[in-house]
Structure 1
Amino acid sequence: MPLNADLHSHSCASDGVLAPSDVAARARANGVQVWALTDHDETRGLAEAAQAASALGMVFVPGVEISVTWAGHTVHVLGLNIDPADTALAAGLAQIRQVRRDRARRISDLLAAHGIHRALQGALSVAGNPALIGRLHFARFLVEQGHCRTTQQAFDRYLGEGRRAYVPVRWTRLKAALGWIHGAGGKAVIAHPWRHRHDANQQTALFDTFKDLGGEGLEVLAGPRAPARHDAYVRLAQHYGFEGSRGSDFHAPGAGHFDLGRMPDLPASLTPVWHDWV
């Protein structure tokens, strides 16, 4: 029987709602055996997560989700089995968090121009980590204040690309992100590739470059509504020789397509990214 591995989840150290230990408890309750916490551009939750995972009998994989700009769009790269104490990784993530803070101030200014005031303070009030503010924190504030019914509506009206309070940013370069991950002893995995806003030629260029830079894995999820898309990324992983990864991208109970550990199994045709850790 395949291992129940969930190598993509978030806590209140970034834009999740649960503490790292509570994410661990939910993962274990859902039958997860190998678990990674991968907060956005932040590693401060890993020590608590590791302690909780050990107490619950899970194999813990320390991780991070790094924001990268490629061909003018955002790409998310998971660093898995990293050493969070690595100085180059820590310095690089600190730079990205500063970009996030600058963007947050600009989002707040744009929302104020549309009659929604003190949005930055509101986003900070719902953030578990004041050092990392993301668009999802603004979305939760907009729902809390009655400006939107759901966080998705907040993105559709204000925060999504091209909307009233959207602020484009340039994150770090792909080469730099992979350098930090490999320097910290980890593996690099492209997260949820179907979300990236690239055409077919750009996606091919991304995968080619990722492979050339030593990228190891591709996150493969099978949603019940899109089996053809899942099969396409399995074939791409096979074509490039990428190891397969599996993750719920959990942020909060009841949010997203999957709960922790409740995704389809990784296809047997792919080598699991965790094969040499377990």
Structure 2
Amino acid sequence: MKIDLHMHSNCSDGELTPEALVARAKEAGLDAIALTDHDTIAGLARARCAAEHEGMTLINGIEFSTRWGKIGVHVVGLGLNADSAELQQAIAAQQQARIDRNLTIAGKLEKLGARNIYQRATELAGGSQIGRPHFAQLLVEDGLVKTVASAFKKYLGAGKVGDIKQQWPPLDEIVATILAAGGVAVLAHPAKYRLTRTKLRALTAGFAEAGGGAIEVISGYQPSGLAKDLAAMANEFGLASSCGSDFHRPGGIWQELGRFEPMPPNARPVWSLWPELAGTVEANK
């Protein structure tokens, strides 16, 4: 059984609808998946219907934005109760924070010549979350830049006028929310934070102390040996190991659905925590 526990639909910053995402996962030979959109579970019901039609297992998921000290960190929640009051409250707070940030970005871009960009970005998103890619596309339409890439380079990238920092809730608060919703908290793509070994160990220790359940030891294509190293760290702190592509859109060869290495032999897979999957799942084999 092949499994991918980290992917995004157009309900957040992915390109495919939940239905198209499930169809692509089926084509990739996946049997069990988790839809983990950023700070929303809006696509779960649609993905579940599509997965049932395809004879696949869908695990409820979400990817929360958090902070550990001054560092932005993402935490995936797996196996949650989508009706949890604590989960719904946390999502509402995250969504309001995103709205406030996007209004600030829009205001700054309009001073540079963009036209009514927040409303247009809302229409462009079509009911999904607004993100910087939507603003970038509209900057191209308004003739302020020639390409989306140049929009990020000139206006939306790190240190630019549209780079508005967000104060997400602390790590332990989000972990508590996931636990209250009956889920497993997973530290997402830890190698991507570019921390020193000492700081990564401190982050892992703090995550475990807060009630975290697993580390994402595989996140798409990554250097040889990294998964084994992260699994060893997970074991050291009593954490399970998770895996996923972090898929956002077709054509991303480093983040294609199901296209990643097998779980290392020293790992304790996160699905061992779910009786209905334990003993039946072998990641990417």
Give the TM-score normalised by structure 1.
0.89
Identity %: 38
CA contact (8 A) 1:119 1:141 kept: yes
Pick from 175, 191, 196: which aligns with 1:194?
Answer: 191
Structure 2: segments with no counterpart, 5+ residues? 278-285
CA 1:239–1:91 in structure 2 vs 1: closer, same or farther (change >3 Å)? same
CA 1:117–1:200 in structure 2 vs 1: closer, same or farther (change >3 Å)? farther
Query: Where does residue 4 of structure 1 map in the other structure?
Result: 2
Question: Residue by residue, what CA displacement relative to the aligned partner does 1:108-157 show, whole Å, maximum 9, x if unpaired?
Answer: 12222333333323322331435x32233334444566625345x54343
CA 1:183–1:223 in structure 2 vs 1: closer, same or farther (change >3 Å)? closer
CA 1:23–1:225 in structure 2 vs 1: closer, same or farther (change >3 Å)? closer
Number of corresponding residues? 274
1:98 aligned partner, one-letter code: Q
Question: Residue by residue, what CA displacement relative to the aligned partner does 1:214-256 show, whole Å, maximum 9, x if unpaired?
Answer: 1111112266562254444233223223211111111111136
2:215 aligned partner, one-letter code: L
1:66 aligned partner, one-letter code: F
TM-aligned CA deviation for residue 198 of structure 1: 4.1
Classify the secondary structure of the residue corresponding to 1:42: coil
CA contact (8 A) 2:114 2:142 kept: no
CA contact (8 A) 2:221 2:254 kept: no
Pick from 117, 122, 125: which aligns with 1:124?
Answer: 122
1:72 aligned partner, one-letter code: K
Aligned counterparts of 1:264 and 1:144: Cα–Cα separation in 2: 40
Equivalent runs, 1:145-156 vs 2, <5 Å: 147-151=145-149, 153-156=150-153
Question: Residue by residue, what CA displacement relative to the aligned partner does 1:187-227 show, whole Å, maximum 9, x if unpaired?
Answer: 00011112225444433322111101111111122665622
| RMSD between superposed Cα atoms in Å | 2.2
Pick from 230, 234, 242: which aligns with 1:233?
Answer: 230
Aligned counterparts of 1:48 and 1:225: Cα–Cα separation in 2: 31
Structure 1: segments with no counterpart, 5+ residues? none
Pick from 236, 257, 265: which aligns with 2:262?
Answer: 265
Give the TM-score normalised by structure 2.
0.87
Is the deviation greater in 194-203 or in 105-114? Answer: 194-203
CA contact (8 A) 1:7 1:248 kept: yes
